[in-house]
């Protein structure tokens, strides 16, 4: 089985690669070939028994998507995107990377199938940013997509393209709307949502973090481990159960910033809380105010997708996976 990961150098892409290498299979089929693509060179996977190829390319450049589609991978994970605040700040770049690249990949797969039969599974990572306020208490599977950011608009168009290309039989696609992934390892990025991870990750390592919003801000979260689980499950799911509705709200955990900090205190004590520096940022607060806060993802849960039930669980996963089982500082 040949698996292509587009966006393989990103955090979720790296963790997905590691999972596939550890398991050696996907949906009961042995993974014999991995193609890892990104705009920067993905790391060569260690311990993989099959063939692994890394590729540096930008799907928005002519011919890049066709080159990958010509490899005819059986499963394609499309994770590549620029983050919310960057897409909002740079309109042209956001549409080029988040929309034009996706359309180029989908169309390259279609063109490859016109040469001879080809129908791969395509798993696309969308976002809860496809929804805009005003929100109900819980967003159901029937809630309308009405994004209030360029990033959310780009992801919404991508979802529609995925559904249409799947309806026409060009590929077998499924879009998963990820919650905000928390706790993200590594250094802070340009995402407006980055502080949700920063206020836990840095104090747990004995470092200061900035909180730009109030403790009453509520948001929808899942761990990196859960995100990889979503991707694996989506790649192996019987998509006949989806019908024409190819995009799903993923399960997650609704929590306030205050509840995050309560969980931080349980693991790091007052010492960790004192490392939080409050610096209100009106721009970030405005962006976050337009994001969903809670979901009722009945379709995804019925289809077997799973996430964490508490922030204590999310912090435990971070400590296990990133801190060697110990709180630093």
Residues designated as active site: 151
Rounded distance, CA 70 to CA 105, Å?
11
Helix ranges (H only) for 254-293 are 257-273, 282-289
Please say whether the beta carbons of 294 and 137 come within 8 A: yes
Displacement of CA 75 from its chain's centroid (Å): 17
Displacement of CA 251 from its chain's centroid (Å): 13
Rounded distance, CA 256 to CA 27, Å?
36
Please say whether the beta carbons of 53 and 65 come within 8 A: no
Residue 136 CB partners (closer than 8 Å, separation 6+): 143
Per DSSP, the three-state class of 233 is helix
> Which DSSP helix (H) or strand (E) runs through 125?
strand 121-127
| Phi and psi angles of residue 243, each rounded to the nearest 5 degrees, phi first | 65, -145
> Which DSSP helix (H) or strand (E) runs through 76?
strand 75-78
What are the angstrom distances between the C-alpha of 77 and each of 5, 119, 157, 254? 5, 14, 18, 26
Nearest to 65, CA basis, from 33, 34, 103, 32: 103
Nearest to 153, CA basis, from 251, 6, 290: 290
């Amino acid at each position: 089985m040949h698996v292509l990961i587009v966006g393989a150098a990103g955090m979720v892409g790296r963790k997905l690669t590691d999972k596939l290498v550890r398991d050696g299979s996907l949906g009961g089929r042995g993974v014999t070939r991995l193609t890892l693509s990104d705009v920067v060179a993905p790391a060569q996977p260690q311990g993989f028994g099959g063939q692994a190829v890394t590729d540096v390319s930008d799907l928005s450049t002519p011919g890049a998507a066709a080159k990958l589609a010509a490899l005819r991978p059986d499963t394609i994970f499309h994770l590549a995107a620029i983050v919310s605040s960057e897409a909002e700040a740079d309109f042209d770049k956001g549409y080029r990377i988040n929309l034009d690249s996706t359309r180029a990949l989908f169309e390259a797969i279609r063109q490859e199938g016109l040469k001879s039969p080809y129908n791969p599974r395509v798993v696309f990572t969308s976002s809860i940013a496809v929804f805009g306020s005003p929100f109900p208490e819980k967003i159901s599977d029937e809630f309308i997509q009405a994004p209030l950011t360029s990033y959310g608009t780009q992801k919404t168009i991508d979802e529609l393209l995925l559904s249409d290309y799947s309806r026409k039989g060009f590929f077998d696609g499924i879009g998963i709307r990820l919650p905000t992934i928390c706790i993200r390892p590594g250094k802070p990025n340009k995402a407006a949502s980055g502080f949700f991870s920063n206020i836990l990750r840095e104090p747990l390592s004995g470092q200061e973090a900035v909180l730009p919003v109030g403790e009453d801000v509520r948001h929808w979260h899942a761990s990196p481990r859960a995100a990889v689980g979503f991707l694996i499950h989506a790649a192996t799911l019987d998509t006949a159960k989806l019908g024409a509705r190819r995009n799903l709200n993923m399960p997650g955990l609704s929590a306030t910033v205050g509840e995050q900090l309560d969980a931080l205190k349980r693991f790091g004590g007052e010492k960790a809380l004192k490392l939080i520096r409050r610096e209100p940022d009106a721009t970030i607060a405005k962006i976050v105010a337009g994001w969903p806060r809670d979901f009722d993802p009945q379709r995804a849960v019925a289809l077997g997708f799973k996430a964490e039930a508490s922030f204590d669980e999310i912090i435990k996963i971070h400590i296990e996976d990133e801190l060697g089982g110990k709180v630093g500082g």
